[in-house]
Structure 1
Amino acid sequence: MSRRHVPAVLALVAGALVAVPAQAAHAATVQVPCSVPDLVKAINTANGTPRADTIRLARGCTYKLRAPDPVNPGNGLPVITSEITIDGRGATIERDGQGGEVPRFRIIYVDKTGVLKLIRTTIRGGYATDCPAFPDAVGASCGGGISNNGKMRITHSKFTGNTSASPVFAQGGGIDSPGSAKSTISDTEVSGNHVVYTGQEPESGAAGGGISNDGPLTITDSKLSGNTATVTPDTRSTAFGAGIISFFGTTIKNTVISGNRAFAEKGTARAAVSNGIPADSGRLTVIGGAVRDNVSDAPGGVAQGGGIANNALMTVKGVKISGNRAVAKDGIARGGGVRVGPSGTLDLKESRITGNTVEAPGGTAQGAGIDNPDGGVLRAERNEILRNTATAENGTAQGGGLYHAAGLPASGTSTLKRNTITDNRAADGGGIFRASGGLTLNGDVVRENRPNNCAPTGTVPGCTG
């Protein structure tokens, strides 16, 4: 695995350009009975034709895969190499792991020349053992349900109970999409998937419990819930993006990202929504929807962002960010709702950051609502930052609404405009705690925070009490 996969740099190189065959004028449609051999035959036949093909599954059938594809044993079904639509009509394709006798494999791989349109289908129980889009990443795993190195359009579908686990590096428990062609996911549920780093080497990671993305992707009207990212304890590794991790330009619209969990004992647990997009690869844009009730937990380590963590370019507009938690017993917990990293620039607009918490018994808790501690750039306008709480029994708790510090070297800014920051709590700086660096208010309302609105006294011009 290239070291650019390691969380220290949060970057991943996208795959080669996709060569998609031109769509023929007449598509073929085949009805597949409730039979795995017939489904395999239909895909192989479709791959052998120059036209676009549609495969219609038996309504309500569960296609149980008990053996991998003999040609490409990392996958359950034949590799998609042409333009194929799979219309599940409510069917399920699953790896039948009953009794532990079935080998591990993902369900679907889309190659560079492939175009997959997946409709009304559940993908369940896949288990990735390799990274076909990154053949040099020996021992890594990518995409438990699907790995897309071509182009995919997923709609009205569900990915559940899929896993990507590796002793080297793992990403994309449900979906991994490194293809360079624009792909879409709409009206789809990605839930209960897992990405796991199982190795003992230090400073590796697990990224994207639900989705890991390395290519242009748009997600709309979907649900990412109950996914997990975990790493081996005491390896200083990083579990990040329990809902989604983005390494390329990504747009998420009107989507609910909830109940996801990153766990890294004596490591780093980072946010349900995370990114590490190189400067020339676009930004992560989140519009509408909600990021709620997610947890980043790092006992004895560092929890960065319960809901959102940005270390590149990100725009968040009109999003409800609520009930998220960053927890680090005897460690450091930062950014219960939102965390801005040292390389991050975040434009946060017209959103509600409410009821988020940072908790660090015996440690340090900072920025329950928003945290910008290491030299990032925050531009926040017309947001409501309400009822967020920083607690650290026998420790330090600062910045219930916002924590800001310049970082090293001394840089980083937080520019606020017409925000409402009320009823937040911390041991100090109930509304805002400014440790250092540039922080400005422009028509913001900061009041009724406990025990004070801004701290230290006099460090935030225009804020009193």
Structure 2
Amino acid sequence: MGAAALAGITLGAMPQAAQAMPALAKAVNVPCDPDALVTAITAANGNGAGTLLLSPDCVYNYTAATDSGDALPIITGDITLVGGSGTSIRRDPTATDAFRVLQVASGATLHVQRISILGGSTAGPGGGILNAGTVVLEQTIMAGNHAGNGGAIANSEGANATISHSVLSENSTASVGGGAIVNFGTLTVSASVVTGNSAPVNGGGLNTQSIGVSHVIRSTVTDNTSGSLGGGVSNLGTTTLDRVVVMRNKGSAGGGIATASTDVSLQRSVVRANIPDNCSPKNTIPGCVDQPPVKRRDPVRS
């Protein structure tokens, strides 16, 4: 796995850090109207913080970018978005322009609960979310997002992302790195599912860059595809997997996990049934072995 393959990728300059934010903010109900959500986020940013209660059974649908190539205003404060059953924020499938869904500035914080983030598209990083600050996702679905790298999420250098009880599915990249997630910062994924994502190069599911640290806990990484190395996970930095199942992923080598460093740790994890092998380079990841192929038996003749 060529460490130089991703060396040229840089995430562009992010908005400046937000000003000091109040500790408490009154919750605001946001009606099922995409313009109302734009207005609510703008106001919360202006106040420094805000909790926005999105409508259940509602699709906040965007046909064009609102702010700098994003469906929604860039998050510059401490913002919490809370949805309910059937709440989603979506780039309209018929939109002619490419734009991501959300972007978080350096120094800002975004909490997302019970919301689906769908269909973001950008030639840059992070089709669903581009994070330069802090992102916390709980009970979130990120699906059908597409980017240059980091189909669902691009976590920038110095940024922090925590994902729990969530699903990242059917996201993709056009270039190098992380069909679901590319991580240059600090990432924790727990009790979540990363499945059916794809990238043409290195890391169909997760791509950890050389300065990145990724922790995956009690999760599954299944059925992801890379056109190159690391169908499930590609590592240039530090990646730990604790009670993780890595299965049925596919790449040119390291169908389950591919690494360019020795900083991959498996704890109580299962890596099996990946194509063409489980880990690459062979015997460099303690605890990851390739099982011999099952021998085909001739039918019993009477």
- TM-score > 0.5 by shorter chain: yes
Backbone CA RMSD of aligned residues = 2.5
**Inter-partner Cα distance in structure 2 for 1:291 and 1:38:** 41
Question: Compared with structure 1, are the counterparts of its residues 78 and 324 closer, same or farther at alpha carbon in structure 2 (3 Å cutoff)?
Answer: same
Measured after TM superposition, the shift of residue 387 of structure 1 is 3.7
Structure 1 residues 240 and 163: CA distance shift in structure 2, 3 A: same
CA separation of 1:179 and 1:110: change in aligned 2, threshold 3 A: farther
Measured in 2, the distance between the counterparts of 1:64 and 1:321 equals 39
Q: Which residue of 1 aligns with 2:149?
A: 171
Structure possessing the higher radius of gyration over alpha carbons: 1
The CA distance in 1 between the partners of 2:15 and 2:197, in whole Å, is 30
CA distance in 2, matches of 1:16, 1:5: 25
- Stretches of structure 1 that go unaligned for 5 or more consecutive residues are 130-140, 165-169, 198-205, 231-238, 278-282, 297-302, 327-335, 341-370, 373-377, 390-423, 426-465
- Equivalent position SS for 2:115: strand
Letter in 2 for 1:58: S
Matched, 1:272 2:232: yes
Match in the other structure for 1:110:
104
1:40 maps to a residue whose letter is: V
Unaligned segments of structure 2, at least 5 residues = 296-302
The SS at the match of 2:37 is helix
- C-alpha separation in 1, matches of 2:259 and 2:16: 28
Matches within 5 A, 1:379-458: 380=286, 383=287, 385=289, 387-389=291-293
2:127 is paired with a residue whose SS is coil
Query: Larger RCO: Structure 1 or Structure 2 (Cα < 8 Å, ≥ 6 residues apart)?
Result: 2
Alignment-mate amino acid for residue 388 of structure 1: P
Superposed structure 1 runs of 4+ greater than 6 Å apart: 10-18
In structure 2, the partner of 1:261 is: 225
Instruction: Say if 2:207 is the partner of 1:242.
Output: no
Deviation per residue, 1:126-168 (Å, 9 max, x gap): 0013xxxxxxxxxxx101111101110011000000111xxxx
1:21 CA displacement = 4.8
1:211 aligns with 2:181: yes
Instruction: Work out which of the residue numbers 119, 127, 130 in structure 2 matches 1:144.
Output: 127
What count of residue pairs does the alignment treat as equivalent?
Answer: 290
Note if contact 1:216-1:249 (Cα within 8 Å) is conserved in structure 2.
Answer: yes
Residue aligning to 2:93 = 97
**1:88 shift after superposition:** 1.5
Q: For 1:303-342, what aligned pairs fall within 5 Å after superposition?
A: 303-312=252-261, 313-326=263-276, 336-340=277-281
Contact 1:128-1:143 within 8 A present in 2 as well: yes
Please give the alpha-carbon distance, in whole angstroms, between the structure 2 residues aligned to 1:172 and 1:27.
32
Question: Contact 2:16/2:106 (CA < 8 Å) preserved in 1?
Answer: yes
Q: Cα gap change, 1:5/1:125 in structure 2, threshold over 3 Å: closer, same or farther?
A: farther
How many Å separate the matches in 1 of 2:222 and 2:8?
A: 23
- Give the number of the structure whose residues are more often strand, by fraction: 1
Q: Distance in 1 between matches of 2:15 and 2:63?
A: 33
3-state SS of paired residue (1:46): helix
